[in-house]
Amino acid sequence: MACAVAAGVPAVGSPAPEFSLPDQAGRTLRLADYRGKWVVLYFYPKDDTPGCTEEACAFRDDQAALTLLGAQVVGISLDDTASHAAFAKKYSLPFPLLADSDAKVSASYGAVTNLVVAKFARRYTFLIDPQGRIAKAYLNVDTSRHSAEIIADLKRLTSR
């Protein structure tokens, strides 16, 4: 669940790999834009598929609780900005979905699967602290309870 043992996955306590990617509105966002906040950086395989929709909608539904804990949700997949825009609009997603078309950012987090005919982002999530370090890595995500798990961990981490 929380230990970074998969190949290429940044270790807990290490600096989170930087990114600079377009969101569903075409704005370029960087990890540095979120310095001073907790970041829930979640990678997901494909827009508008059952598991990805369940996960995104849970984050949407829990947005108020996440915001109260000082966290910003950011999704990343290999889909393009147009696909992200349609997905975000269809489900009223209030957070950025970043297009990692060349899979470089996903690879820097160890979150890319190459299936010969296609590449997909793995369903991994990284909780990044306000200083930009990996606080927790989730490599075995259950979409039905993942948002609640993140909220519980944020409560624990922010009460120190």
Which residues are known catalytic residues?
Answer: 52
CA 27 to CA 43: how far, in whole Å? 19
The phi and psi torsions of 149 (rounded to 5 degrees) equal -65, -45
**Is residue 78 classed exposed, middle or buried when 0-12, 13-18 and 19+ CB atoms within 10 A define those classes?**
buried
